[in-house]
Structures are given as structure tokens and as C-alpha cells.
Amino acid sequence: MQQKGNQPNIEAILNGDSQAFSKLVDDYKNLVYTVALRMLKNTEEAEEVAQDTFVKVFKSLKHFKGDSKFSTWIYRVTYNTCLDRIKKNKKELLNTSIDAVEGFDIKDVNNALNTILANEKALLVRKCVEQLSYKDAAIISLFYFEEKNLKELSIILSQSENTVKVRLFRARTRLAIILKKQLKPVTLENYG
Amino acid sequence: MDNQEELEKLIDKLMVNDSLDQPSLDFTENVLAKLPGIQNAHFVYKPLLPKSIFIIGAFLVLSLVVVILKNHGFSEIDSRYINNLNDMGASINNFFGQVRFSKTATYVIILGGFLFFVQTLILKKHVDSRFV
């Protein structure tokens, strides 16, 4: 899942070296596009917002002081650009009710997950994340992109680590509920 | 193991299989097209050999010159090589002195040289724009 680029040559980019900037875009475009797609749920819009993100990155690169990882900074720009687009569109996907998690045993879902082939699992992840709200999709994706680093995640989302922990737990719960719905009832019954 | 820990392990296991999506093939070109600032920027040329190699090369050539001068002195070099060079120059002059061009041929050569010069400038501009 990781696709970390090397530290970009910021000085060269600021001097107008288009090749250095192209390399930066190539290194991070899949990550930026994936986050945008998961938040916006639309390929055309995600592509447009991902491009706008890189334009913003180029314009504000001189303000990057290196206080955080470069990937953290670029995710922060991506997240904020997506939020601006969502606010502009005024569209929001409703969250799955969190109460539903009480109704099933996690072990059953875990056992059912074990029976699925690896390539089917990849498709399943995509389907499940698609059904999350933009906030949950962003926090879950960024958490795993940032190697489960809560500190970096709190910088991206501009929230305290405790708030991020709570939000992450809720997002995980909703993802588990969606996962249960996605897994075939027959598979679950076998382990129920 | 409490419920929260089990949930965390379940989602960790699920997300291991997550993969990245890919934007369109011309994504990078489209981003660069949106940046007039970087389009006007010049391509930064990088020399094929690093500076240190050039410095070492220059040092070796200078050392060679110094060794030759120390061993043979200026007068010997004059007598041995400069006369030969003068002879070579004279024979080249003789060869080209025999060649005669018509007026038309002279104009064609001048025009050809001028067009070559213009083409070089156009090609340079074209190559620069491709790299930016």
C-alpha cells in the first residue's frame, strides 16, 4: 500500500526546475489521487482536485519549513483541498449508524474474512471504503498511508491526537459494519 | 482481548490488502500545464561529468605541461614544433589558394551558412521548450 517518494529537491523546484517538480508529482500522484477519490467518490472530480493540490503544493512550497514529514504536509494540502471542494458542492454522504456494531460478533467477521482470497480482499476493501463518509474514508486511508502514525495524522487533520483516536475508532467501527454487510451472509452463517 | 482491540486487528487485517488508485496517464503533464510559472522556467542543464573530474583533468594537463617545460625548455619546443606548425600552415594555404569559387557558388555558401545559423536558433528554442 505504501508508495512513499523520496524527499523532493525543493531548492531545484523553487529555482524553476520542471523535471524536479515532475518527479515530485510522479512520486505522490497515486497517494494524492487515492485520498481525493475516497473523499469525493468521483473520478473526474478527484483527478481535478488532485491536480489543484499539486498546483497549491508548487505555489506554497516556499513555506514548507520541514517541521513535519513532506508526505504529511502534502496530505494536509490534499485533505484541505478536498474539504474545500466538498463544502463548495455541499454534498455529504451520511454515516452508517454506529449502534449497529453491538449487533454482531467481530470474531465471526474475522473468520469470514479469512476465507476470502487476497485479490478478492483488495476489491472488498475498495467497496467498503467507498461506502464510508468522506471524513471516515480520509481518516482510515491516511492512517494506513502514514504507517499508523497518530502524530502525523493529527497534523494532517489539524486535530489533537486524542480527538483523532476517537474519530479513528468510530471510523473503524463503521467500516466493520459495512464489511459485515459486504461479506456474504452464507459465509458469515458458516462461522456464526 | 477487548472489543476495541479485536476491531483494530480486524481492520488492520483488512487494510493490508488496500491498494492505491491511479490517475490518468497525462496527469503530470496536466499539472505542469496549470503552472505558467514553471513553464517559463529554464531547463536546468546538468554536466555529464562532475566538477571534481574536470578539476582533476585540468590539474593533470597542467602538470604535464609543467613537466615538459622543465625537461625541454622553451627554446627546444620552439625549434622542434613551431617550425613544423609553420610548414603545415603554409601547405594548407597553398592547397586552398588553388581552389576558385564562382560568384554564384559563393552566394550559395553564404546563404547556406546563414540558414544553418537560423535553423540552429530555431532548433535550440524547440528543444528548450520541450524540456520546460
- Give the pLDDT confidence score for residue A81 in this predicted structure: 94
Reported ipTM exceeds the 0.85 cut: no
Pair A114, A97: CB distance under 8 Å: no
Q: Nearest by CB to B31, from A51, A109, A141: name it.
A: A51
Portion of chain A with pLDDT greater than 90, in percent: 32
H/E element holding A161? helix A161-182
- Give the pLDDT confidence score for residue A2 in this predicted structure: 46
Contacts of A4 (CB under 8 A, 6+ apart): A27, A71
**Average pLDDT, stretch A14-19?**
81
**Average pLDDT, stretch A118-127?**
80
Report how far apart the first and last C-alpha atoms of chain B are (Å, whole number). Answer: 58
Q: What is the pLDDT of residues A132-165, one digit of tens each?
A: 999 999 999 999 887 778 888 899 999 999 999 9
Q: What is the DSSP letter of A56?
A: H
Q: What is the pLDDT of residues A124-134, one digit of tens each?
A: 888 888 889 99
Which of A6-20, A32-46, B84-98 shows the highest mean pLDDT? A32-46
Cell 540552429 appears where? B120
**Average pLDDT, stretch A92-98?**
57
CB < 8 Å to A169, chain B: 4, 7
Q: Which residues of A36-53 are buried (b: 16+ CB within 10 A; e: fewer)?
A: bbbbbbeeebbbbbbbbb
CA distance B5 to chain A (A): 10
Q: Give the cell for residue A20.
A: 524536479
Q: Is B9 in Cβ contact with A110 (below 8 Å)?
A: yes
Q: Which of A166, A172, A175, A180 to mutate to test the interface with B (most CBs of B within 10 A)?
A: A172
Nearest to A138 by CA among A162, A167, A163: A167
Mean pLDDT of chain A: 82
Nearest to A47 by CA among A88, A81, A75, A76: A81
Amino acid, single-letter form, for residue A118: A
**Average pLDDT, stretch A103-109?**
67
**Nearest C-alpha in B relative to A110:** B10
Q: Which of B2, B8, B16, B17 to mutate to test the interface with A (most CBs of A within 10 A)?
A: B17
- CA dist A169 and B34 (Å) reads 39
CA atoms within 13 A on the CB side of B24: 15
Residue A44 has pLDDT above 70, yes or no: yes
Q: Is A51 in Cβ contact with B30 (below 8 Å)?
A: yes
Q: What is the DSSP letter of B78?
A: I
In tens digits, chain B (132 residues) has pLDDT values of 577 788 888 888 888 888 888 999 999 999 988 887 665 555 556 667 788 888 999 999 999 888 877 776 665 566 666 677 777 777 787 777 777 778 888 889 999 999 998 888 888 888 777 655
